[in-house]
A and B are shown apart, each in its own frame.
Chain A
Amino acid sequence: MSTSAHRGSLTRRSALGALGAGGLAIAAGPGIAQGARPAELKVGIATYLSGPASVFGVPARQTAEMLFEELNAAGGIGGVKARPIFVDEGPGVDHFVGEYRRLVQSEKVDLLFSAISSASCIACAPLADELKKPTILWDCGTQRIFEDGKYDYAVRSQANATPEILAALLYLLKAKPDFKTIAVINQDYAWGRDSWEIFRTGLETLKPGVRVVAELFPRFGASDFSTEVTRLLATRPDVVLSTSWGGDLDTLIRQAADRKLFDRSTFVLPLAESSLERVGKALPPGHIVGARGDHWFLHPAPQDPARLKTFVDGYRKRFGTYPIYSCHHMAQAVSCMKAGYEKALAAKGGAWPNDAELAAAFRGLTFPSPTSSVTIRPDGQGLENQLIGTSKHVDAYPFAVLDEMVVFPAEPITTPIGQKSTDWLKTLKPDMVSSMPKAMPYRA
């Protein structure tokens, strides 16, 4: 009896103690209970699972599922298995903000990958700081995030629109230096407008005097570009720029090909790598193609050929297609997460890092990508190389592949820390074109 009474007393005391500690922890916020090794690592991943952008979002989710399985099969991170929790960006930014908060506050995720939409990234970077939750911006394009703000908990595991578009411009200036007229046909939303602003500013700096003969911004998700194609056929610009993507770009390429617009103008398509396999040989040889990074399954000089092959073959075997750039961006985010945790764990002698320590570990981090490596600058922006090439038809593939590929090192084409892209682009010097790396030919 006495023993049991003693036991009961101890239980009550410990229960009161636990309640007190719990109350303190709640009062002090989420940080106090951190540092203990979790049973599992919960990673919230925002991607498009619905709507037109799901052409990127779903392959990225598939990539995440594949890579998380591989990561866990290899023992996880510091012995902890990771579990992705996907949320859909499709319903819009307001819904996404709610989802972000739910992931942090209800699901208690340890880390977030966010997002494809620039609007989602712009919304979640301040949230990351407000909720003090490490967030990897894994795919969005806008250059404004780290140019307009400073965030401690948000980092970016890829480049942004400025190097992606500038690389295509530099390539064009080298490949076709004598062009005199240009037209643009971009989707009518932030990316389409911003990317044209970047291209135009760079063009006016590096090659002033080029005449813009048409600025067309058809509705985002438009299913027919016949009228725009007719106007471009009639206007006969030397160059047509389109930063469109997904079904819009596929349709534009097919309609332009059917009506021989590719015979009249050289196209610059900075995002077309993601459409090549789908449009088959509708995209003729001789047009400029980019990949929002150095992502290309036939990369001419990968840092680790075996790594690229494993990634490409693994994805293709499982999903039946070649991985497109959003798959590479997701792979970079997973690699960034792993490298960040390992760095933070090493800094604490193997003890589990809290959120602030993990967020700090991402700064200055270099991690491998399927094709090369990415370094995160002190401001949180990733430095990612850019690959641009020219379309070419070969017998080995039923779609256009890339030839005359130039891999631009990230740093010289990325806006320096503390500067805004629109100002920096006005300071570019023509020797950027002449000092471009040497082009590498297609190799099967």
Chain B
Amino acid sequence: MAWLSDNAFLLGLATLDGLSSAAAIFMVAVGLNLVFGVLRVLNVAHGSLYAIGAYSAASLGLFAAARGLPAWASLPLLVVAAALVGLVLGPPIERLLRRTQDQEPVLQLLVTFALFMILEDAQKLIWGVRPVVSDAPVKLMGTVDVPIGGDVIPFNAYQLFLLPGVALLTLAALVYGLRRTLFGRMLVAVTTDREAARALGIDAARITLVTFTIGAALAALGGALASPTTSLVPGIGAQTIVLSFAVVATAGLGQVEGAALTSLLIGLGRSFAVYLEPELEVVVPYLIMVAVLLVRPQGMFGVLETRRI
């Protein structure tokens, strides 16, 4: 207890950082989870969609600034960029992955990895290798002084409010959409038993296409939202997909709320590690993943499936 009271203000700061970090992780991981749920393909190229979403948002932001558009326009442009990437790249990738749907998981991974490599090179062709920066949204929202422990710590309002806010909205929209709308219920039906859903007259192909496009747009939105806070360089997609896999494996494949909770755990875990034991920051997501999988191999919220032999 004495330790807690001594370090309360540090833990308070770590919590604020952890929430922002969790929001960024959730945006990408939930898309990956959604796609796996409906398509049963672990899409490595999801990382490329994140990267292309980030680059596209930055380019659109820089283009708008060059054309003299007001600074506030940079915020909706993040969503526009993500939607464009989802709509343009989602359907053709889904068509490709559908061909591997009933194949061996190894083949699926190889195909999506090949796609990932192709898209990585495409990014370099389009955006080059110099770091790309478009931080107008962060500048627009400015900083917020957080008084804590007798000190004042400035935080970016963008990271403190906007990122967690968008993540919460996304979570709420997905939960509502899946549980309360006809499309959501059809999606759950396709996810649970594709054949039975088709027998009931559900157009599983259309559901899969729309869901994949939403998943792709969510990955792109994750990248777009991250883009004002960072410098975009080759390789950002690879780093993101590895972390997203950790979230998805920990949460359980196909679990939306699980992805949210796991992102929160990982975000807070990494943030606390920076304050308490920085050497562990890099491995915290994987320590959490191993700890969970040792106890629940199907993930925190995953459901055990019986296999016919």
Contacts and interface: CB of A to CB of B under 8 A. Distances in A.
Nearest to B121: A50
Question: What secondary structure prevails in chain A residues at the interface with B?
Answer: helix
B274 interface: yes
B230 A224 contact: yes
A250 interface: yes
Contacts, number: 120
A217 B154 contact: no
Interface size class of B (residues with CB under 8 A): 35 or more
B156 interface: yes
Contact of B135 (A231, A254, A278): A254
B279 interface: yes
Given A230-B16, A230-B17, A224 B129 contact: no
Interface in B216-275: 226, 229-236, 239, 270-271, 274-275
B235 A221 contact: yes
B282 A226 contact: no
B153 A50 contact: no
Nearest to A253: B231
B65 to A, nearest CB: 13
Contact of B154 (A214, A224, A233, A321): A233
A278 B235 contact: no
Interface string B124-150: 100011110101001100010000110
A259 interface: yes
Interface residues of A, number: 38
B233 A231 contact: no
A396 B229 CA distance: 28
B129 A227 contact: no
A277 B153 CA distance: 29
6 tightest CB-CB pairs across the interface, nearest first? A247-B233, A250-B231, A227-B17, A54-B129, A247-B231, A223-B230
A247 B21 contact: no
Contact of B143 (A221, A248, A259): A259
A228 B282 CA distance: 13
Given A50-B124, A219-B281, A224-B230, A247 B154 contact: no
B278 interface: yes
Nearest to A54: B129
A231 B153 CA distance: 9
A264 to B, nearest CB: 10
Contacts of B159: 226
A51 B278 contact: no
Which of B9, B21, B234 has the most chain A CB atoms closer than 10 A to its own CB? Answer: B234
Contacts of B155: 230, 259
Interface string A43-57: 000000011101101
Given A55-B130, A219-B239, A231-B274, 18 more contacts: A50-B234, A52-B233, A52-B234, A219-B281, A224-B226, A226-B21, A227-B14, A227-B270, A227-B274, A233-B154, A234-B9, A234-B10, A234-B13, A247-B230, A255-B156, A259-B153, A259-B156, A278-B130
A30 interface: no
B143 to A, nearest CB: 6
Given A234-B10, A254-B231, A259-B155, A226 B17 contact: yes
A230 B21 contact: no
Nearest to A218: B281
12 contacts: A54-B129, A217-B282, A221-B236, A230-B13, A230-B153, A231-B10, A233-B154, A234-B149, A234-B151, A246-B131, A247-B231, A258-B135
Contacts of A255: 156, 229
A219 B282 CA distance: 6
Contacts of A215: 278
B239 A224 contact: no
Nearest to B153: A233
Interface in A243-276: 246-248, 250-251, 254-255, 258-260
A57 B129 CA distance: 9
B24 interface: yes
Contacts of A246: 131, 233
B278 A52 contact: no
Nearest to B243: A219
A293 to B, nearest CB: 21
Nearest to A185: B278
A259 B152 CA distance: 11
Given A259-B155, A259-B156, A260-B143, A228 B230 contact: no
Contacts of B16: 230
